[in-house]
Amino acid sequence: MGAQNSNNKLARKEGMTRRGFIQAMGTGAVGASLSGAAMAAAPGNEPPEKLLSAKDTVKINLHINGADRAVLVEPRWTLLYVLREVIGLTGTKEGCSRGECGACTVLLDGVPRYACMTLAVEAENCHITTLEGLMQGEELGPVQAAFVEEDGFQCGYCTPGQIMSVHGLLEKTPRPSMDEIRIGVSGNLCRCGAYNNIFRAARNAAERKI
């Protein structure tokens, strides 16, 4: 009690009561919140789709999973953004958005590429394969089925990218060694640490595709 009275006296002596301090902090928090809202609404902070205008877009033709798609894009849009938000192929996941995790991996002309680091305009005239393109009608493709059988995932968020990297590896090297499998998926991070199961799934998929 004595310490509390001493603190209150010190606060009054310095021109600030406990109640005044709390009120001032509350006002500051409201101000910070309003400032954040103003920044979010400021020009230049809008999401890409809000900045769309006819003069800023170009028409490109993308060959995706065996079908041609004509789309209007801004030159700065990534292939990841166009696949997910414009075309609606959400099997390709957004992870780090800076080419580190591999969750967004797709195949361009059979070669694994990070969609977050590839501009959509760069992918024109390329054969793009996404996770959806590995399906055989309503059935899982060999790599997808192998991941299920070998339990090659836990949370599953990185799994689409892992599958695309394995598929790309097997297209180039149908019967890879375990070292080649490890190198083939080295650009894909699994935060759950299911690497051993992923390696087994890759070997299983190789046997299915033979």
58-64 and 127-129 strand pairing? parallel
d(CA 210, CA 187): 25
Q: Tell me, what's the pLDDT at 210?
A: 63
Element housing 23 (H / E): helix 18-41
Q: DSSP for 113-148, please give it.
A: EEGGGSBGGGGTTSEEE-GGGG-BTTBPPHHHHHHH
Q: Tell me, what's the pLDDT at 196?
A: 97
Q: Tell me, what's the pLDDT at 45?
A: 46
Compute, in degrees rounded to 10, the torsion defined by CA atoms 204, 205, 207, 210: 180
- The pTM is what? 0.74
Q: CA-based Rg of the chain, rounded to a whole angstrom?
A: 26
Q: Tell me, what's the pLDDT at 75?
A: 96
Judged by phi (left if over 0) then psi (alpha if -120 to 50, else beta), residue 69 lies in beta
Q: How many CB atoms lie within 10 A of CB 142?
A: 20
Amino acid at 123: A
d(CA 134, CA 167): 9
Going 200 to 204 to 206 to 207, the CA torsion angle's sign is positive
Q: Over the chain (210 residues), what is each successive 10-residue block's mean pLDDT? A: 48 49 46 43 47 75 97 97 97 96 98 98 97 94 97 96 98 97 97 97 91
Q: Tell me, what's the pLDDT at 110?
A: 96
Q: Are residues 148 and 159 in contact, defined by beta-carbon separation less than 8 angstroms?
A: no
Q: Are residues 22 and 37 in contact, defined by beta-carbon separation less than 8 angstroms?
A: no
CA-to-CA separations, 16 to 5, 11, 28, 103, 166, in angstroms, rounded: 14, 5, 15, 53, 65
Element housing 171 (H / E): helix 159-172
Q: How many CB atoms lie within 10 A of CB 187?
A: 17
